[in-house]
Amino acid sequence: MIEKEYLEPNEGFSQTVVVKTGNFKTLYISGQIGDGIDLEAQTITTFQNLEKQLTNCNATFKDVVKMNTYIVNFNPEVDLPIFRKIRKEFLGNENYPASTLVGVESLGRKEWLIEIEAVAVVE
């Protein structure tokens, strides 16, 4: 039997959807954004918002199996070191989830520079 729980519903989406199957829960976390005037500040608060969603479901970054990251006007030479440094602070040095990073022209609002969505599995 599959059960679904919709956490923090907003207009048109939920922050997290929890799918329970047997002894496992899969967490589908909607794209999180952050605050700040530059990519570094927004990346830090974006990871903090992801961490909040995980914590609400008794999970951690170690439970994340897939991440999709979208960065506006992505410049690999400048933006990738910033992203990797902050990701390492939250996820550590090993056993990274499967990941996709996509440079995009824009996100849902003009002030957003980064958005990250994640999938996690917990027992």
CA distances from 88 to 19, 31, 80, 96, 97 (A): 28, 19, 12, 9, 12
Q: How many domains does the chain have?
A: 1
CATH of residue 88's domain is 3.30.1330.40
Q: What is the pLDDT of residue 5?
A: 87
**pLDDT score for 10:** 85
Please name which of 20, 16, 117, 22 lies closest in space to residue 65, comparing C-alpha atoms. 117
Q: What's the pLDDT tens digit per position in 37-77?
A: 999 999 999 999 999 999 999 999 999 999 999 999 999 99
Q: Which domain holds residue 94?
A: 2-122
Average pLDDT, the chain: 95
* Total-model pTM: 0.94
